[in-house]
Structure 1
Amino acid sequence: MKSIFRTLFGAATAVSLLLPVVVQDAGAKGATHTVALRNEMAHQLIAQALPSTAVSPIYLYHRCWNIINQQYFDKTYGGQDWARWEHHYDTKIKNKDDAYKAIESMLASLGDPYTRFLNPEAFADETNSIKAHLFGVGIQLGMSDLKKIVVIAPIANSPASTAGVLPGDEILEVDGELVAGQPLDSVVKKIRGPINTKVTLTMLRDGKRIPIPLTRAEIPVKAVTKAVILPGNVGYIRLDSFISAKATEELKEALTKVEGADSLVLDLRNNPGGLLDNAVQIANLFLKGGVIVSTVDGGENKASTISRGQPTFEKPIVTLINGSSASASEILAGALKENDRSVLVGTKSFGKGLVQAIQKLDDGSGMNYSIAKYLTAGGNYIHKKGISPNIEVKLSDDEYKKGLGPWWIDPTFKRFNREPVDGFDIQLLAAMAEAKNEVRKAKGQPIEPFKDEEVRKQILAKLAKPVIDTKKAAQAGSEKPTGHAASDFAQPKAPGVPARN
């Protein structure tokens, strides 16, 4: 069980970059694709190797083959004869690049998107994310249907925010090179770089080209991105991911900020996962007992993790999920729901039920590979199925594009600096209403049904009005109203959370 507790969970398909891409994924309302340190992670255990040294390329290939042979969770290996790969490339591998390509081909044969090879750079990125290390300039980016790369927001106290980068700035050039027509991940590679190195971004703002020189730095990675008490004395905590080893401590601190609330809304929307230990420890903060999660390895050996039964928060909880709530998010949501500790509100979760290890190889590269499947607290295998909410609150594409999705995402790029109290997030409003009803139930009082259709109409009426972003206008040196127009941004439909550069 000790090794299981060091396992990581995640589901976002990503590249080794530090910027988000807005992409399509049916059922994931308001999701953004993680282009960051979290490379295609599922539930992962870090296994150590010797310090990086010069090793035989063929040795690397055979080491990977042997790891899969011994530890892969599916002993049919995707319905193939795994032995055929052992010496398949022996005469073709001449150098390290050959070995890398051969390993990638071998792993692809498993048909498992969560089992993959990591070159040294990708492996370093992934392990840095666990340590909450992120290196860049500190901006969140989105790409529109018109292929414009636009700043969602600069991260507080980052090089970008200090230099005056604003939400809505469009990136035209990176170090003098035009980025029009380039994929977002390609642009990200140009922006990324070692700490203390420089990069100049040329922005388009109010029709003017503005070059902004930046020096790359370490950006703090936060697991909890919001902890406030909302109207009706409802506590609210947004848990962005479980990837940082500090996530549990951050959640504990967040609970102290809402301890005066009558109830809690725990927002796991767009949370792709992270450390299993964080999911277990956070579940322990809320549960009085019961199973949290079980794992089943390739030998069909089952191990269950039981709650300590010493919760620090015992008030009513409502948990928000959507199609981008994955892996560790599903572990926590499942544990809370199936132990009758929380009502789930939103849409069906992603459905990631496999456990991966991340193995460091001798040359500094690494490999993610599936070592087990997990079962929720109720013994359910949710892979490719997801967890259904108790109260479903769907969003149409049109509603999402108009801004009824998660409060921190504005597809119109017209209302920056949004907050959960703004009243546009229909799922959050439904969760708040349910949280208040849970308090009423505990007191034996009649509940007040959430008037979904009426509230949606009210939100759409507010969103139809012109908006002035006074904070942005003041920073830009001018104040002028900006209409709330139809967005050229497609509704995101892939698991993930905004990542940072």
Structure 2
Amino acid sequence: MENENIENNVPVSEPASKDTEADKMLKRRFISGMLIGALCAMFVFFAGAIFFILTNGVHAGGQNENGVLNSETVKKVKMLENLVDTNYYKDDVDKSTEAEGIYKGLIESLGDPYSVYYTADELEELKAVTKGVYYGIGAYVGMDQEKNVPVITGIMEGSPAADSGLMEGDIIAEVNKESIQGLTLDEVVAKIKGEKGTSVHLTLIRDGSVDNVEVDVIRNEIQVPTVTTELLKDGIGYLKISEFDEITTDQFTEGLAELRASGIKGLMIDLRSNPGGNLVTVCDIARQLLPKGNIVYTVDREGNKQDYTCDGTRQIDIPVVVLINQYSASASEILAGAIKDYGIGKLVGVKTFGKGIVQSVFDLNDGTAVKLTVSDYYTPNGYNIHGIGIEPDVEVELDIEKAQRDKIDNQKEKAIEVMKELIDK
């Protein structure tokens, strides 16, 4: 499950679930067939390797005439390469870049925004992000589904984005004076990220501003504080989870323990603009909250079911309120959906993003990798929320103008009201 942080609010994720036991089984199955027949050119060899991911391989010593990599497609790829070599107006075309384009194009042909081919550099960046450290500006970026534009969905405290005056709700129109129209979220995020100390220029559309807002942000190393806590009035503990990375479980456990030590009467979990992340992480956190039973279950294309369960030994014994919005995706929806299904808490905000599918990353053993969607997931009561989202129990839209101008969070204020009612029962 990804945004898909940025620096990637597709929730990397995000956006995307990392290797589970089921994923590892699929990976072993994938790797076991990786030996393919020797092909004449390195160019064709790698195209075959990528093709193999989707077709379970080709037989050694020949091509699968019923698959993508058959004699006709190999012939056409060679023809295109020759045309480029002899007719393209620049003579410094990088062959490795051409090859990467083939691999990326094959995966993009699936029409699935969550299935991605990663170059070696992109894979290293992905690994850094999932560990909670990367180079960027310290802002979360998501795709507004209604307007189909990238938007700033959150700002990390003390980050370059915060220092530069970026605001939640800012629509990104250009990066370094180049239009991002038609680009995917991953492509926009890749343009914003960069080496420490370098600058990125953002052109923003901001509510209340007649003209576009032009901002220069100096990139830096970002160590993501994925969990923050606050002790509110009336014994309410506030715990915000920005994404589900490898470091998040320990941060959540520590944050919850600190709040419980303060004698809180209720727990508010803020999942707004959380793009998702690691499936194992969200299940480990859910086990500190839920009763005995399923947290979530997945079903692959062959109908195989994988249960992720909770033994109920650490079920929370105080009222819970969960804040959600249209950018709460993937792993966020797993936690919110389970809390709602078990009836142990109230959801406040607006309907979530609706990402009910799971991705796994397959290592190609050459420094590159492919992330593929491998299954659907279902809430404990059997709901698949992909393309649908999760409805809140109490609906309240965020007043963007008040949030930006007056720093007033009306959704959080409403969640406090709901919590007080639960505590007083």
Give the TM-score of the pair, scaled to structure 2. Answer: 0.71
**CA pair 281-313 structure 1, distance change in 2 beyond 3 A:** same
Matches within 5 A, 1:212-291: 218-224=221-227, 226-242=228-244, 244-259=245-260, 260-291=263-294
Opposite residue 17 of structure 2, the aligned amino acid is: H
| AA at the equivalent of 2:420 | K
Contact 1:266 1:318 in 2 (8 A): yes
TM alignment of 1:35-50, pairs within 5 A = 38=12, 41-45=15-19
Contact 1:228 1:257 in 2 (8 A): no
* Cα displacement string for residues 351-398 of structure 1 (whole angstroms, at most 9, x for unaligned residues): 111111112223322211111111111111111111111222235xxx
Whole-Å Cα distance in 1 between the matches of residues 104 and 201 of structure 2?
A: 37
How far is 1:113 from its partner?
Answer: 1.6
Name the structure 2 match of 1:299: 302
Do residues 342 (structure 1) and 334 (structure 2) align? no
Q: What's the secondary structure of 2:327's corresponding residue?
A: coil
Contact 2:350 2:397 in 1 (8 A): yes
Per-residue CA distance 1:49-95 (angstroms, 9 max, x = gap): 89xxxx93323222222222349xxxxxxxxx994413364231564
Deviations 1:83-130 (A, max 9, x none): 441336423156433332223332233222211222222222111111
**Deviation digits for residues 243-275 of structure 1, max 9, x if unmatched?**
x20101111111123212110111111111000
> For 1:48-447, what aligned pairs fall within 5 Å after superposition?
56-70=42-56, 83-87=66-70, 89-91=73-75, 92=77, 95-136=95-136, 155-156=157-158, 160=160, 165-167=163-165, 179-180=176-177, 183=180, 192-194=193-195, 198-199=197-198, 218-224=221-227, 226-242=228-244, 244-259=245-260, 260-311=263-314, 313-395=316-398, 399-400=399-400, 402-404=401-403, 410=404, 414=405, 418=407, 424-441=408-425
Percentage identity across paired residues of the two chains: 29
Q: Which SS does the other structure have where 1:434 is aligned?
A: helix
Confirm or deny: 8 A CA contact 1:11 1:352 kept in the other structure: no
Give the 3 Å change call, closer, same or farther, for CA 261–276 of structure 1 in structure 2: same
CA-atom RMSD, angstroms?
A: 4.0
What SS class does the counterpart of residue 345 from structure 1 fall into?
Answer: strand
Q: How many matched pairs?
A: 356
Which stretch has the larger CA shift, 299-308 or 90-99? 90-99
Residue 132 of structure 1 aligns with an amino acid whose one-letter code is G
Question: Which residue type is aligned with residue 10 of structure 1?
Answer: E
Contact 2:13 2:276 (8 Å CA) reproduced: no
Q: Report the Cα offset of residue 318 of structure 1.
A: 0.8
Counterpart of 1:403, as a letter, is K
| Kept in 1: contact 2:324–2:350 (CA 8 A) | yes
| Structure 1 residue 181: Cα displacement | 6.0
Q: Contact 2:296–2:380 (CA<8 Å) still a contact in 1?
A: yes
Q: Would you say the 8 A contact 2:9–2:141 is kept in 1? A: no
1:89–1:102 CA contact under 8 A, matched in 2: no
Q: Which runs of 5+ in 1 are unaligned?
A: 1-8, 20-32, 72-80, 170-177, 204-210, 405-409, 419-423, 442-501
Q: Is the 8 A contact 1:137 1:217 kept in 2?
A: yes
Letter in 2 for 1:246: I
Give 2:87's aligned residue.
Answer: none
When residues 253 and 212 of structure 1 are mapped into structure 2, their CA distance, relative to the original with a 3 A threshold, is: same
Rounded to whole Å, the distance in 1 between the matches of 2:332 and 2:46 is: 34
What letter matches 2:51 in structure 1?
A: W
Give the match's secondary structure for 1:266. strand
TM-superposed CA distance for 1:154, in Å, is 7.3
Calculate the TM-score normalised by the size of structure 1.
Answer: 0.61
CA apart distance, 1:217: 5.0
Alignment partner of 1:387: what SS? coil
Q: Partner amino acid for 2:237?
A: G
1:31-63: per-residue Cα shift (whole Å, max 9, x none)? xx7499x3763334386989xxxx933232222
Q: Assess, with a 3 A threshold, how the Cα gap between structure 1 residues 238 and 180 changes in structure 2: closer, same or farther.
A: same
Q: Contact conserved, 2:139 with 2:155, CA < 8 A, in 1?
A: yes
More helix by share: 2
Alpha-carbon distance between aligned partners in 2 of 1:168 and 1:283, rounded to the nearest angstrom: 32
Q: Secondary structure at the match of 1:90?
A: helix
| Residues 141, 153 of structure 1: 8 Å contact kept | no
Higher relative contact order (CA 8 A, sep 6+): 1
Change in CA separation of 1:300 and 1:187 when aligned onto 2, cut-off 3 Å? closer
- Give the aligned residue type for 2:259: V
Change (3 A) 1:124 1:39: farther
Q: Please state how far the C-alpha of 1:428 moved relative to its aligned partner.
A: 1.3
Aligned partners of 2:336 and 2:156: how far apart in 1? 30
Q: Cα offset for 1:434?
A: 1.2
Mapped contact 2:275–2:330 kept (Cα < 8 A): yes
Query: AA paired with 1:249?
Result: D
For residue 220 of structure 1, report the CA deviation from its aligned partner.
1.0
Aligned-partner Cα distance in 2 for 1:374–1:382? 8
Cα–Cα, structure 1 residues 181 and 276, in superposed 2: closer, same or farther, change >3 Å? closer
